[in-house]
Chains A and B, each alone.
Chain A
Amino acid sequence: MTFWDILIILARGAGYTILVTVASVSAGLAMGLFLAVLSTIRWKAVSFFLAAYNYVFRSVPALVLLFLVFFGLPGLGIRISPFVSIVLSLGLISGAYLAEIFRGAMAAVDQDEIVAAEASGMNSMQIFLYIMFPQMFRMSIPGMINEFTSVLKYTPFAYTVGIPEIMKEAMSLAVMTLRGLEIYLAVGIIYFIIYRLFVMLFMTFEKKFRIPGLAPE
C-alpha cells in the first residue's frame, strides 16, 4: 500500500468532515447573528440570557457538550441523530464565539452613519440590512475564518457519536496496517487541504466585499 492509497482511503471520510464543518459553521453563524442582534436590545433579561449563554458555551468543552447531548438527552426521552447532536453541540459553541465577533464588528460601525440613515427615513430593519450588516460582515471575516478553523478541528469528535469521518478511517486503517506514522501524516495533509480550500472560499468573499482603496490588497 503506497502513501497515495492511504490518502485515497482517508479521503472517504473527508466528505463527512466537510459536511459536519459546514453544517456546524452555518448553525453557528445563524446562532451568532441572532445573539448579536439580541445584544442590541437593552433589556435586563436579554443581557442576562446573553451573558449566561456566553459563559456556559464558551466554558464547556465540546466533547462534554456532545456527550451531554448525545448520551444524556435520551435519558430525558429526547432522541436525536448523531449528525444533529454534533452539529447542535458545535453550532451552539461556535455561536457563542461568533456572537462576540459580530458584536464587536457591529460596535465598530460608525454611529454617524446610523444617524444619517435615520435622518433619511430608513426604518430600523433597513438600517440593519443596508448599513450595519454589510459593514459588520466585512469586518468579521477574519474572526470567522478563525472560528471556522476551530470547528474544523473539533470534527474528529463526530466519530465518538458514530459519524465515519477522517479519524475513523485513520484508526481502523492504522490498526490493520500498523503504519501509524504515515497514516496520521496523511490525516494532517487532508486537514490542511480542507482548511486551505475553505480559506480560499472565505477570501473570495472578503475580496468581494472589500471597499476598493480602503483595505490593503
Chain B
Amino acid sequence: MKKIIILFCLLYFVSLAVLGCGKKEEASVIKVAVCPTSPPNMFEENGKYQGIDLDIFESFCKARGFQYKITSYDWQGMLGAVIGKQADVAFSAISITDKRKEVMDFSKPYMENTWNLVSLKGRNIVVNDLAELKKYSIGYPRGMAYSDFIKDKLEPQGVYKLSDVKMYPTYNEVLADLKNGNLDLAFLDGSVASVYRKKMDIQDSYVFTGFDMFGFAFPKGSPLRKDFDRYLNEIGPEKLKAIVDRWLK
C-alpha cells in the first residue's frame, strides 16, 4: 500500500518539479513568434529555421547587437502571442490587413505578395493581355480569396467568370489536374508558387500585383517596431530586395 502512496507522491512532485522549471527569460532577449509553414519566408528544414523574414530580422539584430529566441506556434497562436504580448515580434509572411492593424502594429511592408497564375512549362502558356484569359481554364481550392477577386475585379471587366472556375478540395488535386493536362492555369500565391516551382515544372503565366504586402507584426505600442522601421530605412530598398531575391531565385 505504501508503494502506491509513494508512487502518487512521486508523480505529484515530478509534475510540480516540471511545472517549476519555467525559466526566467532575460529582458534583453527578443522573443520571436513564428509559424514555420510559410516557405520561402519562414520554414524549417533539417531542424533549422530559415527564410527571407528570418534573414531580415537576423541582420537587424546583428546591426543592433540584440539577442533573440524563436518560438514556433501555429498560425493562430503566433498572432495571439503578439496580441497578448507573449512575443515581442512575429514574422512568417504575415499580410498587413486593416483587421490585424486594430490589434497589432506592423512594420513598413518589406515585400509584396503576388497572386500568380501558373501553368506547366511544357504548355508554355503566356498571358500578355487579360483578355486572353478566357481561352484557358483556371483552378484553385475552394474558399480562397481569389473568388472575391474574380467576382469583384475580373467579372465586371468581362475578363473571366467565376462560374467558369474549376474548384478543388486542396492544392494536391489542383496540381494533379494541372499535371494531367485537364487544367490550364492554377491560382497560387507567390510564396506558395516558389515552393511548388522546386517540385514540379511550372512557370508563371500571369502575375497580379499591388494588393498584398507582408509586414513584421509587433504588439501595440511596441518601441521595437520604431527601431525596426528605422533599420529598414537605413538599409534601403535595394539591400532589402537583395535579401528577398536571394530566396526567390
Contacts and interface: CB of A to CB of B under 8 A. Distances in A.
Interface in B64-115: 71-74, 76-77, 80-81, 83-86
A130 B1 contact: yes
A87 B80 CA distance: 19
Contacts, number: 102
A164 B14 CA distance: 21
A26 interface: yes
A161 to B, nearest CB: 6
A74 B84 contact: yes
A174 B33 CA distance: 20
Contact of A12 (B38, B39, B47): B47
Interface residues of A, number: 40
A26 B77 CA distance: 25
B8 interface: yes
B145 interface: no
Contact of B39 (A26, A176, A180): A176
Given A81-B22, A130-B1, A159-B74, A178 B84 contact: no
Given A87-B19, A160-B74, A175-B43, A30 B86 contact: no
Given A67-B80, A159-B77, A161-B77, A171 B37 contact: yes
B45 interface: yes
B172 A180 contact: yes
7 contacts: A19-B18, A33-B8, A133-B4, A134-B1, A160-B80, A175-B43, A178-B196
Interface of A: 12, 19, 22-23, 26-27, 29-30, 33, 67, 70-72, 74-75, 80-84, 87, 129-130, 133-134, 137, 159-162, 164, 168, 171-172, 174-176, 178, 180, 209
